[in-house]
Structure 1
Amino acid sequence: MAVSLHDQLVVAISSRALFNFEEENQVFNQDPGAYQQLQRERLDLPAPPGVALPLVRKLLAFNQGDRRRVEVVVLSRNDPVSGMRVFRSAKAHGLDSIQRGVFTQGRDPFGYLRPLGAHLFLSANAADVTQALNLGYPAARVLTESADASSAHPQEVRIAFDGDAVLFSDEAERVYQAEGLDAFLRHEVEHVAQPLPDGPFKPLLAALHRLQQAAQGGETGGMRLRTALVTARSAPAHERAIRTLMDWQIEVDEAMFLGGLPKGEFLREFAPDFFFDDQTGHVQSASAHVPAGHVRSGIANATP
């Protein structure tokens, strides 16, 4: 029987998102040849954890016995020999179940998201993330300077999402950018019964919802999953967002309608293993408190 990942949550991740390769990356930016030599010299030296490693560790804990519900694949611009260090580092950190990887030696890696059927691509390379989003895959640039994930909820994966241009399309955000807050509120009230179009991260939320249902059925060895919508929307614009989730038949565990308040301290209280937002200011603010990723999507990221 052919091997398939179709019934699993598939996360593709770059080596810099999984491990702290910032020192090596500085060498790469100066001399790629020296970088390869340095990685060879450090083959037996495990790389320190990167921003996304705690998230990956928790997601892989959903795999119980022979039942795999999550697959993590390294998708990297590294050369294959440097890839040996990635796998050795994964083993050193107890992530033996990371067994698949694609190493392209500098070429664009994002095309391999299609045969993987990836539900998420995490990378420190902004260009790769943008191309992945253009192909229709949920993708975020990991802020490698992000705060470490909280250790307060070891049996629970927590993921937080912005709404417009992330879970939902940027339809309403375009009205806000063009005509201001009052026009945005009128637009949302007038269209309250019309679900917002899908945003780039809806497929990930749907996949997480399936994983959450398995956890609620006691099929994941005690691991749980909790999601949150953290948005600058406020009443009355909140209702269209909720109605959209109802139309999708997907629930989030928490919803924060902050009306423009800074998100960072609210996220610190929720303690997500990762937060996704399309606006650089929000992502940078959040990264002081939690692991964060920039979703280069929508009008807020349009090239002038």
Structure 2
Amino acid sequence: MPVTLEDKLVVAISSRALFNLEEENKVFEAGDNEGYMKLQLDRIDVPAAPGIAYSLIRKLLRFNDDGVQRVEVVILSRNDPVSGMRIFRSSAAADIKLQRGVFTQGRPPFGYLRPLRAHLFLSVNAQDVREALNAGFPAARVLVESVKASDAWPNEVRIAFDGDAVLFSDEAERVYQKEGLDAFQAHELSKADLPLPEGPFKPLLSALHRLQLAGNAKMRIRTALVTARSAPAHERAIRTLMKWNIRVDEAMFLGGLPKGEFLREFEPDFFFDDQTGHVDAASRHVPAGHVSSGISNES
């Protein structure tokens, strides 16, 4: 029977999103590819320190602990194959069970998301993330300056999502930016019974929902919608999730309040937002990623 990833949650992640390779990356960014490769080879037996998405990946893979492979994590990296050896050794040292990796030696790797059928791509490279989103894959640029995830919830994968342009389309956000708050509220109230179109991260939310239903007695998923929406515009968001037959565990309708302190209380392993201001502020409290989709990211 052929090997397939069809029935698994598939996360593709770059080396720098999983591990802290910022010192080594300075050599790479300076254009010294040979020096970078040598540095990685010299450090092949030195496990790299955890990166910003480390907690998220480690916890997701714990859904496999009972022997059923529900989650597959694949390294998808601009690193060279030689440097890739250190990534696999660092993963083994951290007891992160990785089997697969694609190393493109400086070339854009996002094209391999299609044969992987990835539900999420995490990378530090903004262009790769943008191309992945354009190709229809949930993707986010990991902010390496983010604080690390809390270790307070070892048996829960905790993920927070913005709404418009992330879980939902940016239809309503376009009204807000072009016509203002009153027009936005009126627009959403008049369409409260009409589900919002899907946003780029709806496939990931659906995959997480399926993973939760598949079950693992020792692990669970807790999700939160963290949005600047307020009443009465909250209703359309809730009804959209109901139409999708997906529940989030927490919903925060903040009416424009800063999200950072609320996220600090939720303590997610990762937070996704389309607006750089929100992501930058959130990164001071939690691991955060920028989703470069929607009107806020149009040049």
TM range (shorter): over 0.9
Q: How high is the TM-score relative to the length of structure 2?
A: 0.99
Q: CA deviation at 1:65?
A: 3.7
The correspondence of residues 1-304 of structure 1 with structure 2, limited to 5 A, is 1-30=1-30, 31-95=32-96, 97-215=97-215, 220-303=216-299
Partner SS for 1:206: helix
Cα separation, 1, equivalents of 2:188 and 2:252:
17
Q: CA deviation at 1:92?
A: 0.8
In 2, are the aligned partners of 1:10 and 1:116 still within 8 Å (CA)? yes
Q: CA deviation at 1:41?
A: 1.0
Partner SS for 1:43: coil
Partner SS for 1:62: helix
Cα separation, 2, equivalents of 1:27 and 1:283:
27
In 2, are the aligned partners of 1:232 and 1:258 still within 8 Å (CA)? yes
Partner SS for 2:272: strand
Cα separation, 1, equivalents of 2:227 and 2:55:
24
- Runs of 4+ more than 2 Å apart: none
Cα separation, 1, equivalents of 2:127 and 2:88:
24
Cα separation, 2, equivalents of 1:102 and 1:118:
13
Q: CA deviation at 1:212?
A: 1.3
What RMSD in Å do the two structures reach over aligned CA positions?
Answer: 0.7
Cα separation, 2, equivalents of 1:263 and 1:147:
15
Cα separation, 2, equivalents of 1:275 and 1:199:
16
Cα separation, 2, equivalents of 1:222 and 1:66:
13
Cα separation, 2, equivalents of 1:279 and 1:100:
32
| Partner amino acid, structure 1, of 2:256 | G
In 2, are the aligned partners of 1:137 and 1:200 still within 8 Å (CA)? yes
In 2, are the aligned partners of 1:64 and 1:221 still within 8 Å (CA)? no
Cα separation, 1, equivalents of 2:42 and 2:77:
19
Deviates more, 1:11-20 or 1:41-50: 41-50
Q: CA deviation at 1:34?
A: 1.3
Partner SS for 1:141: strand
Partner SS for 1:11: strand
| Partner amino acid, structure 2, of 1:222 | K
| Partner amino acid, structure 1, of 2:36 | Y
Q: CA deviation at 1:36?
A: 1.2
- Write out per-residue CA displacement over residues 221-241 of structure 1, whole angstroms, 9 at most, x where no aligned residue: 310110000000000000000
Structure 1 residue runs of 5 or longer lacking an equivalent are none
- Write out per-residue CA displacement over residues 182-226 of structure 1, whole angstroms, 9 at most, x where no aligned residue: 0000100111111000000000000000111123xxxx1310110
Cα separation, 2, equivalents of 1:84 and 1:76:
12
Partner SS for 1:58: helix
Cα separation, 2, equivalents of 1:65 and 1:222:
9
- Write out per-residue CA displacement over residues 77-98 of structure 1, whole angstroms, 9 at most, x where no aligned residue: 0000000000000011111x21
- Write out per-residue CA displacement over residues 260-298 of structure 1, whole angstroms, 9 at most, x where no aligned residue: 000000000000000000000000110000000000000
| Partner amino acid, structure 1, of 2:4 | S
Sequence identity percentage: 73
| Partner amino acid, structure 2, of 1:74 | I
Structure 2 residue runs of 5 or longer lacking an equivalent are none
- Write out per-residue CA displacement over residues 156-190 of structure 1, whole angstroms, 9 at most, x where no aligned residue: 00000000000000000000010000000010011
- The count of aligned residue pairs is 298
- Write out per-residue CA displacement over residues 102-132 of structure 1, whole angstroms, 9 at most, x where no aligned residue: 0011111000000000000000000000000
